[in-house]
Amino acid sequence: MNKTICMIGGDERNNKLAELLKKEYIVKVYSDKEKDIGELLKNSDCVVSGIPFSRDNETVNMPGSLEKVTVEKLFMSMKSTKKIIAGSFSDRIKSLAVRYEIELYDFLSDEDFAVYNAIPTAEGAIGIAIEKTKCTINGANCLVLGYGRIGKCLADILKSLHANVTVVARKDEDFAWIKAMGYTGKKYSDLQEILPSTDILFNTVPALVIQQELNYIKKDCLIIDLASKPGGVDFDLAKEKGIEAELALGLPGKVAPDSVAEYMFNKVKKVI
């Protein structure tokens, strides 16, 4: 007997994922017309949601929906269905899940998936840079803050486009790789020195790292923040100074939903 999956929330990645899942499972998709979420969940084997699962720690991430479903209401409605597969669960949501005895499976807990998800994020960020700057990436001074999965993908693609790539990091092992890959490595204490010549700044660090540093950034520098909300840039101060800064969230769902849905599909099959 085919297992039943209930899909609630998410973006274009989830829409494509639903199509893939329907080939092997019974799939029920939540819509604004649903009056009783508990009825929809009845006899389902698991819930599949988006990445991130929630953007505000209160409601399920449902960008295409007019209705709001609170995380607690969803958990309370899960009487027989006790599994949720989604992405980026906060500590608050993990605590709620414990209270309601819900098992959480994070797409991003698999290293292979997290790397695959970083690729469209990096490509999308570079697409924004190409669209919003008046210079070519070739020859541009590009600064990448952070050398995690996204930082690694970004630096690699930027170098292939012949940008001048500087990466700011903290760990000795990161600096070793940065040097080996042919990038310029700098510490956060060096920002005041390197920011005045930066054409495009990509932030991947989920902490406020660009605030007073805005005093050293030239007016035509473009800042693209890829860190989870609220990002790592003081956007109000950037606006006040006339510096363009964009918080670019959910890029995989915007630039490569079909590719990412394939990775999500494999994760769901493993959990089911």
Q: Contact 224/154 with Cβ under 8 angstroms?
A: no
List the CATH number of the domain containing 243. Answer: 3.40.50.720
Residues 59 and 181 in one domain: no
Report the alpha-carbon angle 28-32-35, nearest 5.
80
Q: Residue 249: what pLDDT?
A: 87
Q: Which of 81, 109, 137 is the last residue of a domain?
A: 109
Residues 16 and 101 in one domain: yes
The model carries a pTM of 0.86
Q: Is 48 within the bounds of a domain?
A: yes
Return d(Cα 253, Cα 15) in angstroms, integer: 10
Q: Residue 1: what pLDDT?
A: 59
Buried b (16+ CB within 10 A) or exposed e, 67-91: eebebeebbebbeebebbbbbbbbe
Residues 139 and 208 in one domain: yes
Buried b (16+ CB within 10 A) or exposed e, 23-40: eebebbbbeeeeeebeeb
Q: Residue 31: what pLDDT?
A: 81
- Give the domain range for residue 65: 4-109
Residues 123 and 93 in one domain: no
Decide: helix, strand or coil at residue 113.
helix
Q: For the sheet with 103-106, list strands across it.
A: 26-29, 4-7, 46-48, 83-86, 103-106
Q: Is 221 within the bounds of a domain?
A: yes
Q: Is 222 within the bounds of a domain?
A: yes
Q: Which of 90, 109, 128 is the last residue of a domain?
A: 109
Residues 150 and 68 in one domain: no
Residues 129 and 88 in one domain: no
Q: What pLDDT tens digit does each residue of the chain (272 aa) get? A: 589 999 999 999 999 999 999 999 999 998 866 667 888 888 889 999 999 999 999 999 998 787 889 999 999 999 888 999 999 999 999 999 999 999 999 998 889 888 989 999 999 999 999 999 999 999 999 999 999 999 999 999 999 999 999 999 999 999 999 999 999 999 999 999 999 999 999 999 999 999 999 999 999 999 999 998 788 999 999 999 999 999 998 899 899 999 999 989 988 998 88
Q: Is 65 within the bounds of a domain?
A: yes
Residues 33 and 161 in one domain: no
Cβ count near 106 (within 10 Å): 19
What are the residues whose beta carbons fall under 8 Å from the beta carbon of 270, sequence distance 6 or more? none
Residues 103 and 119 in one domain: no
Q: Is 259 within the bounds of a domain?
A: no
Q: Is 217 within the bounds of a domain?
A: yes
Q: Residue 271: what pLDDT?
A: 86
Residues 30 and 117 in one domain: no
What are the residues whose beta carbons fall under 8 Å from the beta carbon of 33, sequence distance 6 or more? none
Q: How many domains does the chain have?
A: 2
Residues 157 and 241 in one domain: yes
Residues 213 and 236 in one domain: yes
Decide: helix, strand or coil at residue 133.
coil
Q: Is 266 within the bounds of a domain?
A: no
Q: Which of 76, 109, 142 is the last residue of a domain?
A: 109
Q: Residue 35: what pLDDT?
A: 65
Residues 158 and 247 in one domain: yes
Q: Is 131 within the bounds of a domain?
A: yes
Q: Length of the chain in residues, anyone?
A: 272
